[in-house]
Structure 1
Amino acid sequence: MSYPADQTANPAPLGLLGFGMTTVLLNLHNTGLYELNSMILAMGFCYGGLAQVFAGLMEWKKGNTFGTVAFTSYGLFWLALVMLLVLPKLGLAQAVSPTGMVAFFVMWGLLTAGLFVGTLTMNLATQVVFGSLVILFGLLAVGDALGDPMITRIAGWEGIFCGLSAIYAALAQVLNEIYRRPVLPLGEKTVA
């Protein structure tokens, strides 16, 4: 019995764009450019959160465990972060302490470090996204632990780089597929 070839689209660009664009916008706030506002919360809920969860479910359908875990996890990260900010405003929960945020960022940093190890067999663009995200979570944890706004600003600039690297990886995949040739290089591994 033969099975039809997988004709479904690559969900990774959707997940990467949801992650990348939301990360850039939040980290523009972390640099001090503008206040935490409804634009960031809406983007975190809709594109960073829901779109990545959808991308993760589509990766599951394709049999990609890494993509399933990464996109679903980071989609739920964004939804959790929005809830951490909104629930106290609604009077439904106490605001998280800086120590609590340190724990939150450390746990996400540990997950990301584990996933980064998995990227070492993948293209360079994916390695840059996950490597810079490990650094971002570390800087955010240290900034909250020390209560140092300068470290948070540095994290903001590093987060902008991380987000832009995800946007690049997403657009490279889309354009390379459309043109059926490497328009934007991903740094693919060569088989010896």
Structure 2
Amino acid sequence: MEKQLANSAPLGLLGFGMTTILLNIHNMGFFPVSAVIISMGFFYGGIAQIIAGIIAFKRSNIFAATAFTSYGFFWITLVGIWMLPDTGNALAGATPNSFLGVYLALWGIFTAFMWYGTWGASKVQQFVFLSLTVLFFLLAFEKWTGIESVATFAGAIGIICGSSAFYLAMAELLEEVKGKKVLPF
């Protein structure tokens, strides 16, 4: 008898949620980007979500597989965007804000389609993807316009988005551990 793989969604959601909360505390202006955000982005937001995505592929859950691996690589590329300019490589220069806005808008478009994929799923899952769509477009708009108050507002949306993913992770995890619904989702 083949052993069934565990549900990787709580791991992926926690990697996404906790990293998103930390980055958006920065976006609200409370802390600069530092080793805390970079490490969470690379290891937990990035690698842990990719692992969760690979497990979801093995479980034939194409939505979760695509979401977790894609957003895991989002975090790794974001860390690269921040760190590669410091390597001195001429091709790895700082990204102009207007181009960073394009990067964020592309992620917003992808996320809008993923949100559509959640219709019919849990309300919390729908909320995670809707709030993330709004977050990406707000951050893109801020990069294109330079209006700092947009980043602050986006940061608040991001904290709410990350917190909703954290909640969904705990709801799914506790349901599996306890064998019954503990938190509604």
TM-score, with normalisation over the residues of structure 2? 0.97
Q: 1:189 — aligned with what? A: none
Unaligned 5+ segments in structure 2 are none
Equivalent of residue 37 in structure 1, options 34, 41, 53: 34
Instruction: Quote how far apart the aligned CAs of 1:182 are.
Output: 1.0
Instruction: Quote how far apart the aligned CAs of 1:86 are.
Output: 0.1
Q: 1:23 — aligned with what? A: 20
Q: 1:66 — aligned with what? A: 63
Q: How many Å separate the matches in 2 of 1:98 and 1:142?
A: 10
Instruction: Quote how far apart the aligned CAs of 1:7 are.
Output: 2.2
Superposition map of 1:130-145 within 5 A: 130-145=129-144
Q: How many Å separate the matches in 2 of 1:160 and 1:6?
A: 37
Percent of residue pairs identical? 45
Instruction: Quote how far apart the aligned CAs of 1:6 are.
Output: 5.9
- Are 1:158 and 2:157 an aligned pair? yes
Report the CA distance shift for 1:87/1:126 in structure 2 as closer, same or farther (over 3 A): same
Q: How many Å separate the matches in 1 of 2:181 and 2:123?
A: 14
Residues paired across the two proteins, number: 183
- Are 1:75 and 2:72 an aligned pair? yes
Q: How many Å separate the matches in 2 of 1:6 and 1:71?
A: 22
Give the helix-richer structure, 1 or 2.
2
Instruction: Quote how far apart the aligned CAs of 1:180 are.
Output: 1.2
Q: 1:190 — aligned with what? A: none
Q: 1:99 — aligned with what? A: 98
Instruction: Quote how far apart the aligned CAs of 1:97 are.
Output: 0.4
Q: How many Å separate the matches in 2 of 1:145 and 1:99?
A: 5
Q: How many Å separate the matches in 2 of 1:163 and 1:176?
A: 20
Cα shift readout 1:13-59 (whole Å, capped 9, x = no counterpart): 00000000000000000001111111100100000000000000000
Instruction: Quote how far apart the aligned CAs of 1:125 are.
Output: 1.1
Q: How many Å separate the matches in 2 of 1:53 and 1:16?
A: 11
Unaligned 5+ segments in structure 1 are 187-192
**Partner amino acid, structure 1, of 2:136:** F
SS of the aligned residue for 2:32 comes to: coil
Q: 1:86 — aligned with what? A: 83
Q: How many Å separate the matches in 1 of 2:2 and 2:116?
A: 30
**Partner amino acid, structure 2, of 1:48:** G
Instruction: Quote how far apart the aligned CAs of 1:176 are.
Output: 1.1
Q: Report the aligned-residue RMSD.
A: 1.0
TM-score, with normalisation over the residues of structure 1? 0.93
SS of the aligned residue for 2:121 comes to: coil
Structure 1's consecutive aligned runs of 4 or more residues displaced over 2 angstroms after TM superposition are 4-7
